[in-house]
Chain A
């Protein structure tokens, strides 16, 4: 996009001036290079979101923003229920509560290098990945409802993980206000064989090591030092979330058309927070958040089993678990007062500052870990939430690299075998059921995650803490 189209608020903030139907301005966080590379659709979608009823302050785009569905991916917007604010199924997306969790292994790179191959094979055998894989957990109707109400807390009660994991998950592992009764039978049916599965596409499990520390004090607070080996898991609410997203998008789009609301884009489909469908969606969407949290908790359990199989006595502890695609009720300062707002983050990460009451005691002084996944074979980062990000952007930051090339183009440009061999040459082991899937996810098909993270850091949305590089990647 041409920077001349925007008001330059700083080197890292670009304002989309309020015009036409926009109720608030747009604000894009990026450096000039990232902005130049962004699709024109980003500013169009930022402006469309700014026109939705009840939006407050601004329609935000994070440094990894790209063309999404209604909302840009990397979009953040908060709505006030007292000002006829809306909740949008499109603003949350299809993979509800897709997110990342990172586990500390207590092992260092020198200990892991010699057993890397065995670790890769054991993880690949243990973690169901790719289309057609099924989990070992099959839930009855009663168990399904308990899982949807309880999230990771339910999973821990079933023996998947430990109670102390829960305090290092958003919402302490269990999203309140979820109603399994608001979830359709079709959505539950789709989830029956998918608990504890990674999925496909850009979902992965990576063994990584810390290669740089940018903030020693915070890194120490997170328990991270150069050479430490960690595991990051990226996946979401699987078929259940996809089904809920599709069903409510349809219902909200048809309802909008029937009540004469003209949406700039059907995917902006939304409903007043204080409406029957708005409430029903919130209850179902929160159940999907619990599904994603339970799923990542079961995968954590499987990862721990795999590690113990290879390294006797290995103890994996949770650093944190973040979700990218959510709508959450949060208290924020606005116009001199405190307001309860419905914050949509679509492909954006919550980034709460030091001292936030949501944080567990151990992370109180550091701020929330913000886990940013790169593409396969490139770096990932851990950042920490800041007060400035909280004040300016409802405590939000970027979520990943974002694609620079379409799947079809990547599939034509690379072969899976070549990508796997090239990464193996750099010491990165890939295990995946699909060569074409690996080609479509080739590192070259993604933007430079470092540039995205640097922009978030310089804009002070979140502060860079450590850089992670992959050793093993299990790709769905």
Chain B
């Protein structure tokens, strides 16, 4: 499974798995959207550019999710497609989506923030990458 949720006492964890670091970040972003509402039905009509820079891959990962949370909140958008490029802990990305329509998208819950709980960005023995953390809802 390229993305999944995992249980946390009060909140929920998001996990992206990919053949590359970039892909694991993209997949985790899909998991983030799925906390809010189903990915199906979110048209990739408009795009937002995102840039982040951090001292390590794990902080970069929470920065990436927090940047998406910020864009969703301030532009009233939902995202369903992502393209991420990471070089030396510098991330540039495009997120595609559309304006939140409460009647059509049936959002469940707002994500407040990506946290450092269960935060992990690592390459596994089989060469695949995993990027995960708990998000506060």
- In chain B, what residue has the closest Cβ to A268? B116
Q: Would B8 and A406 count as touching, CB distance under 8 A? A: yes
User: Counting chain B CB atoms within 10 Å of each CB, which of A131, A254, A269 scores highest?
Assistant: A131
Q: How far is the CA of A436 from the CA of B119 in the complex (A)?
A: 26
Q: Would A408 and B114 count as touching, CB distance under 8 A? A: no
Q: Say whether A278 faces chain B, with CB atoms less than 8 Å apart.
A: no
Q: Would B106 and A436 count as touching, CB distance under 8 A? A: yes
B1-32 CB mask vs A (1 if < 8 Å, else 0) is 00001011111100000000000000000000
Q: Say whether A311 faces chain B, with CB atoms less than 8 Å apart.
A: no
Q: Say whether B100 faces chain A, with CB atoms less than 8 Å apart.
A: yes
Q: Say whether A253 faces chain B, with CB atoms less than 8 Å apart.
A: yes
Decide: A132 near B76, CB < 8 A? Known: A95-B136, A246-B66, A266-B116: yes
Q: Would A242 and B9 count as touching, CB distance under 8 A? A: no
Q: How far is the CA of A200 from the CA of B110 in the complex (A)?
A: 6
A408's partner among B7, B70, B117 (CB-CB below 8 A) is: B7
Decide: A246 near B109, CB < 8 A? Known: A130-B102, A239-B73: no
Q: Using a CB-CB cutoff of 8 Å, which residues 80-111 of chain B contact chain A? A: 100, 102, 106-110
Q: Say whether B39 faces chain A, with CB atoms less than 8 Å apart.
A: no
User: Counting chain A CB atoms within 10 Å of each CB, which of B9, B106, B119 scores highest?
Assistant: B9
Residues of B bordering A, CB below 8 Å: 5, 7-12, 36, 55, 59, 62-63, 66, 69-70, 73-74, 76, 100, 102, 106-110, 112-117, 119, 134, 136-137
Q: Name the 6 nearest CB pairs between A and B, nearest first.
A: A406-B7, A266-B116, A67-B9, A131-B107, A242-B112, A436-B108
A94 contacts which chain B residues (CB < 8 A)? Answer: 112-113, 115, 136
Additional 14 contacts, C-beta under 8 A, given A200-B108, A403-B10, A435-B106: A93-B136, A94-B136, A130-B110, A132-B100, A242-B112, A246-B66, A246-B113, A254-B55, A265-B117, A267-B115, A406-B7, A407-B11, A408-B7, A434-B107
Q: Would A408 and B108 count as touching, CB distance under 8 A? A: no
A449 contacts which chain B residues (CB < 8 A)? Answer: none
> Closest Cβ of chain A: how far from B68's Cβ, in Å?
12
B116 contacts which chain A residues (CB < 8 A)? Answer: 69-70, 90, 249, 253, 265-267, 269
> Closest Cβ of chain A: how far from B30's Cβ, in Å?
16
A402 contacts which chain B residues (CB < 8 A)? Answer: 10
28 contacts between A and B (CB under 8 A): A66-B9, A67-B8, A67-B10, A68-B10, A69-B116, A70-B116, A94-B112, A94-B115, A95-B112, A130-B102, A131-B36, A131-B102, A131-B107, A133-B102, A186-B70, A199-B110, A200-B108, A201-B110, A201-B137, A242-B69, A246-B114, A249-B115, A402-B10, A406-B8, A406-B9, A408-B12, A433-B102, A440-B108
Q: How far is the CA of A201 from the CA of B55 in the complex (A)?
A: 32
A73 contacts which chain B residues (CB < 8 A)? Answer: 9-10
A265 contacts which chain B residues (CB < 8 A)? Answer: 116-117
Q: How far is the CA of A131 from the CA of B73 in the complex (A)?
A: 9
A93 contacts which chain B residues (CB < 8 A)? Answer: 136
A403's partner among B9, B100, B109 (CB-CB below 8 A) is: B9
> Closest Cβ of chain B: how far from A347's Cβ, in Å?
9
B11 contacts which chain A residues (CB < 8 A)? Answer: 407
Decide: A434 near B108, CB < 8 A? Known: A94-B113, A246-B114, A403-B9: yes
A399-440 CB mask vs B (1 if < 8 Å, else 0) is 000110011110000000000000000000000011111001
A436 contacts which chain B residues (CB < 8 A)? Answer: 106, 108
A199 contacts which chain B residues (CB < 8 A)? Answer: 110
- In chain B, what residue has the closest Cβ to A406? B7
Q: Would A257 and B74 count as touching, CB distance under 8 A? A: no
- In chain B, what residue has the closest Cβ to A404? B9
Q: How far is the CA of A258 from the CA of B107 in the complex (A)?
A: 40
Q: Say whether A41 faces chain B, with CB atoms less than 8 Å apart.
A: yes
Decide: A406 near B12, CB < 8 A? Known: A131-B100, A254-B55: yes
Q: How far is the CA of A267 from the CA of B117 in the complex (A)?
A: 7
Q: Would B115 and A407 count as touching, CB distance under 8 A? A: no
Q: Would B107 and A130 count as touching, CB distance under 8 A? A: yes
Q: Say whether A250 faces chain B, with CB atoms less than 8 Å apart.
A: yes
> Closest Cβ of chain B: how far from A436's Cβ, in Å?
4
Decide: A437 near B7, CB < 8 A? Known: A186-B70, A245-B113, A407-B137: no
Q: Would B70 and A243 count as touching, CB distance under 8 A? A: yes
Q: Would B9 and A39 count as touching, CB distance under 8 A? A: yes
A246 contacts which chain B residues (CB < 8 A)? Answer: 62, 66, 113-114
> Closest Cβ of chain A: how far from B50's Cβ, in Å?
13
Q: How far is the CA of A430 from the CA of B95 in the complex (A)?
A: 35
- In chain B, what residue has the closest Cβ to A41? B9
Q: Would A132 and B107 count as touching, CB distance under 8 A? A: yes
Q: Would A250 and B10 count as touching, CB distance under 8 A? A: no
Q: Would A190 and B70 count as touching, CB distance under 8 A? A: yes
B109's partner among A243, A258, A409, A437 (CB-CB below 8 A) is: A437
Q: Would A190 and B73 count as touching, CB distance under 8 A? A: yes
Q: How far is the CA of A434 from the CA of B36 in the complex (A)?
A: 11
B59's partner among A39, A192, A253 (CB-CB below 8 A) is: A253
> Closest Cβ of chain A: how far from B77's Cβ, in Å?
10
A242 contacts which chain B residues (CB < 8 A)? Answer: 69, 112-113, 136
- In chain A, what residue has the closest Cβ to B55? A254
A340 contacts which chain B residues (CB < 8 A)? Answer: none
A79-96 CB mask vs B (1 if < 8 Å, else 0) is 000000000001001110
Q: Would B62 and A200 count as touching, CB distance under 8 A? A: no
Q: How far is the CA of A21 from the CA of B66 in the complex (A)?
A: 32
A176-193 CB mask vs B (1 if < 8 Å, else 0) is 000000000010011010
